[in-house]
Structure 1
Amino acid sequence: MRLLFVHQNYPAQFKHLAPEMKRRGAEVVAMSMSAPPADNPFPVLRSGSTYGTSAKHPWARDFETKVIRAEATLRTAAKLRDGGFSPDVIVAHPGWGDSLFLKQVWPEARLGVYCEYFYRSTGGDLDFDQEFGPRTDPLDAVCKFRLRNLPQRLNLEYANAGISPTEFQAGTYPDRYRRMIDVIFDGIDTDHVAPDPSVRLKVGGVEVAHGQEVITFVARNLEPYRGYHIFVRALPELLRRRPNARVLIVGGEGVSYGAAPLQGKGSWKQIFWSEVADRVDRSRVHFLGNLDYSMFLSVMRTSALHVYLTYPFVLSWSLMEAMSMGVPILASDTAPLREVVTPGENGLLFPFFDPEALVDGACALLDDPHTRARMGANARALVHERYDLHQVCLPRQIHWIEKLRAADPVIPDMD
């Protein structure tokens, strides 16, 4: 079998599946806009473009960027085809536009798309948090969201199948597409992502270890989509009621999702921290920035309680990794969380916009080490049973690839 993986930031969601297919004897190639890992076991071709966005209409800029990326990937694909490579199966993340024209190069290839999230005007992230609602006419925002979905729609027209990591994320897609999507999580290596009570580390000159009252909060970037503002606003009361607690916050100061702060206001991290900085003991709050993976795991292994919030949006790997390490979860009562957190069993849920409920939930759990131990064990058991990489997810992903290979290709209309 010949396989082509396409992702603007490869390996991303394909970091386990692509190498496993290579190990099983497939001829594998990947295409990306980013530099590949140094130890990648097969070729990764980088696409690039000299074009810059020129669209004057603000609604068109995002889509033009995706068309530019699609054209760059198209040129790379044509060179790959001319060199003799013809994939049986293409697996692509369509969200950034890279894979938009690949079926014009290889019309006979079966196309599988990674269905991460389909933007909706209501019931999703757009209208969830009124504090950060659209800065323009709400009707304009809805139209921009429809344009953001266009690359996915155009890919799905010629796709054989989709794959989505959670039921919530798959459920954001219109019914005509939802029927073709299999729900298979990316996978957690539970043998590696496991508790280790012996871990000790130093943060801010202070030694932190398992068994202490350590509260963790993790996001790729500290921003409203992941509830950073709610968490920070809870800190003064939380630290007042928990005089022995230490808070470890992992994440950068950029923007992964949603809008950036207004120019000149600083980062979201700075904006919300400035609201509370004079009311907290700063020596007990540690901003760790972005960490390499091994250090992230060490931090999480010291955690007595992991706090996680999200808009109705993509579920973070960090949540599942925390659960795999046996950490009890205190999470926002939003749709993605209800799929994995059962209140009283492996964690607690609280209303997203209620910092006081966050504090009450944290204090209740921190006061009850036996309940936390039980919840942590249940959290790890759930991940091992439903989301284990080697026993559950990879076998299902490989079966999904094999079904793709056996399907008839959807031939694009060339008119």
Structure 2
Amino acid sequence: MRILFLNSVFPGRFRSLAQAFGASQNNTVLFLAETGQKLAIPGVRRLRLAPPAPYESDDPAEKEIVTRLRRGARAGNALLSLRRNGFIPDIVCAAASMGGSFYVRDIFPKAFYVAQGDWFYNNGESHCFFTRGNPRPPADFAPLRVCNLWEYNALGECQLGVTSSLWQRAQYPPALQRDIKVVPSGINTRFFMPGEEKKDGDATGDGVADSWGCASNELVTFCGPMHDPARGFDQFRKCLPRLLELRPNCLVVLAWLDIAQTGRKPGNGADTPSECSETGKAMRRAVDILGIDQSFRARVHLLGARSLKEYRAMLQHSTAHVYLAAPHVFSTGLLEAMACGSLVVASDTPPVREVVQDGVNGFLCDFWDHENMAQKLADVLARASQLGHVRRNARQTVLRSYDADVQTRRFMDLISASMKDRAEG
């Protein structure tokens, strides 16, 4: 078969699926993307797509629609070039939201079109989360409604629409929702797994703590972009003074760049971001306003970019890992921590509750209540040696529902069954 992937980032969400299709010598697999990791996937040929020319406008909605139309036009021209050169795909797998797939159905009308739905914006909990439930001005929704146009187009034209979680599917209108299948994002559970010392559920953070010369067996970790309010960096830093007061032997590590999510190359491994980088300066300012006593500063460490193995080691040594997410989509960082057997303290928000059951495979805390967050963390640290069953349940949750190999096979079976139904219908 001939399979075409179309996404703004290579390989992004389609990595496992592209690997699976590329593994067969009977398949010809092309991947069209603007940016992404510098890696080679066996059996997959990457084609670069020029990003759309920037468009400036005082109207955010106008800027969104023109940018995405330009992206669609550039992608459309690339697809026309493929067609002229004789490449007619049997399957097209494309992201629904960014505009690149706008002309897929027109250019390859006979291809089986799989659209990956990202997010459908509405005026519900997600839209009003940061106003604490208070309405936002009507104009705030204009650029978001523009984003929905591409979801409508892709999911209305495709033969198979998928999204990654029940929470994401629930955001779509009923007319689209009933035809969308849920295929969770999977992770490599053979890579993300507990370290040797954590398999009995009694591990603490002493190995990492010792590397900084700090006599502590309580390590709290947090990973995520500090510039994204939806990932809760501000909420976590506000809980630190109280947490450090409650647990005098606690060590805190904040990873300001989640290397596992971005795919960027690791830097020089400094424990503090470069003062020359904007991210480093912003993180330094954030630490300066933590509001903690100077005597606590030695117990808060900032990590520069680390390799994937170092990121995994941090999760494996963590006594408690904090994961916060607004009611949007959750990243695979939550799954990676759980697969490593971390005691996860996560935000009590709908996308997280789909994965984490309080007291069963992790713990939930109020996204907004930093006092509650500090107390929950302190309680977990105090009982860490008794919570081996929670660690094991966390990993079992990921093995059961979020293993990349399992979900990729399920995705491929879903495509095969849908193609068969289409042929017979």
- Fold shared, TM-score > 0.5 on shorter chain: yes
8 Å contact from structure 2 (residues 34, 51) kept in 1: no
Deviation, structure 1 residue 143: 1.9
Q: Deviations over 1:53-94 (max 9, x none)?
A: 144533210121111111111111111111111111111112
**TM-score (structure 1 length as normaliser):** 0.87
Q: Which has the higher helix share?
A: 2
The Cα RMSD (Å) is 2.8
Unaligned runs of 5+ in 2: 198-204, 263-277
* Matching of residue 394 in structure 1 with residue 408 in structure 2: yes
Change (3 A) 1:203 1:328: closer
Task: Give the Cα separation in 2 of the matches to 1:376 and 1:244.
Answer: 22
Secondary structure of 1:129 counterpart: helix
| Higher alpha-carbon deviation: 78-87 or 36-45 | 36-45
* Matching of residue 245 in structure 1 with residue 250 in structure 2: yes
Q: Which amino acid aligns with 1:275?
A: I
Deviation, structure 1 residue 44: 1.1
Task: Give the Cα separation in 2 of the matches to 1:275 and 1:202.
Answer: 25
Task: Give the Cα separation in 1 of the matches to 2:389 and 2:104.
Answer: 49
* Matching of residue 86 in structure 1 with residue 88 in structure 2: yes
Question: What percentage of residue pairs aligned between the two structures are identical?
Answer: 27
Task: Give the Cα separation in 1 of the matches to 2:369 and 2:356.
Answer: 18
Change (3 A) 1:208 1:335: farther
8 Å contact from structure 1 (residues 88, 405) kept in 2: no
Task: Give the Cα separation in 1 of the matches to 2:312 and 2:234.
Answer: 24
Structure 1 partner of 2:312:
297
Structure 1 partner of 2:384:
369
Task: Give the Cα separation in 2 of the matches to 1:358 and 1:310.
Answer: 14
Structure 2 partner of 1:352:
367
Task: Give the Cα separation in 2 of the matches to 1:208 and 1:154.
Answer: 56
Q: Which amino acid aligns with 2:420?
A: A
8 Å contact from structure 2 (residues 97, 151) kept in 1: yes
Change (3 A) 1:299 1:132: farther
Deviation, structure 1 residue 287: 1.7
Aligned length, in residue pairs = 395
Secondary structure of 2:325 counterpart: coil
Structure 2 partner of 1:28:
29
Structure 2 partner of 1:168:
167
Task: Give the Cα separation in 1 of the matches to 2:353 and 2:282.
Answer: 27
Structure 2 partner of 1:412:
none
8 Å contact from structure 1 (residues 4, 31) kept in 2: yes
Q: Deviations over 1:326-367 (max 9, x none)?
A: 111111110011111111111111111100111111111111
* Equivalent residue for 1:114, pick from 105, 110, 116: 116
Structure 1 partner of 2:396:
381
* Equivalent residue for 1:67, pick from 60, 66, 69: 69
Q: Which amino acid aligns with 1:242?
A: R
Structure 2 partner of 1:316:
331
Change (3 A) 1:402 1:220: farther
8 Å contact from structure 1 (residues 168, 336) kept in 2: yes
Task: Give the Cα separation in 1 of the matches to 2:251 and 2:75.
Answer: 47
8 Å contact from structure 1 (residues 365, 371) kept in 2: no
Q: Which amino acid aligns with 1:246?
A: L
Q: Deviations over 1:113-136 (max 9, x none)?
A: 112221122221x210127999xx
Change (3 A) 1:302 1:139: same
Structure 2 partner of 1:16:
16
Deviation, structure 1 residue 221: 4.5
Deviation, structure 1 residue 370: 3.5
Change (3 A) 1:96 1:290: farther
Task: Give the Cα separation in 1 of the matches to 2:335 and 2:52.
Answer: 39
Structure 2 partner of 1:261:
none
Task: Give the Cα separation in 1 of the matches to 2:230 and 2:11.
Answer: 24
Structure 1 partner of 2:235:
230
Task: Give the Cα separation in 1 of the matches to 2:315 and 2:305.
Answer: 13
Change (3 A) 1:37 1:265: closer
Relative CO higher for 1 or 2, CA cutoff 8 Å, sep ≥ 6?
A: 1
Q: Which amino acid aligns with 1:283?
A: A
Deviation, structure 1 residue 282: 1.9
Task: Give the Cα separation in 2 of the matches to 1:36 and 1:275.
Answer: 34
Change (3 A) 1:74 1:3: same
Deviation, structure 1 residue 220: 4.0
Structure 1 partner of 2:194:
195
Deviation, structure 1 residue 383: 0.9
Task: Give the Cα separation in 2 of the matches to 1:311 and 1:50.
Answer: 29
Deviation, structure 1 residue 201: 6.8
**TM-score (structure 2 length as normaliser):** 0.85
Deviation, structure 1 residue 275: 2.9
Task: Give the Cα separation in 2 of the matches to 1:51 and 1:289.
Answer: 32
Deviation, structure 1 residue 265: 12
Deviation, structure 1 residue 403: 2.9
Deviation, structure 1 residue 207: 5.5
Q: Which amino acid aligns with 1:140?
A: A
Deviation, structure 1 residue 194: 0.5
Change (3 A) 1:189 1:157: same
Task: Give the Cα separation in 2 of the matches to 1:237 and 1:361.
Answer: 11
Structure 2 partner of 1:406:
420
Q: Deviations over 1:130-178 (max 9, x none)?
A: 27999xx711011221112111111112111211121111211111111
Change (3 A) 1:270 1:113: farther
Secondary structure of 1:191 counterpart: coil
Change (3 A) 1:269 1:313: farther
Structure 2 partner of 1:103:
105
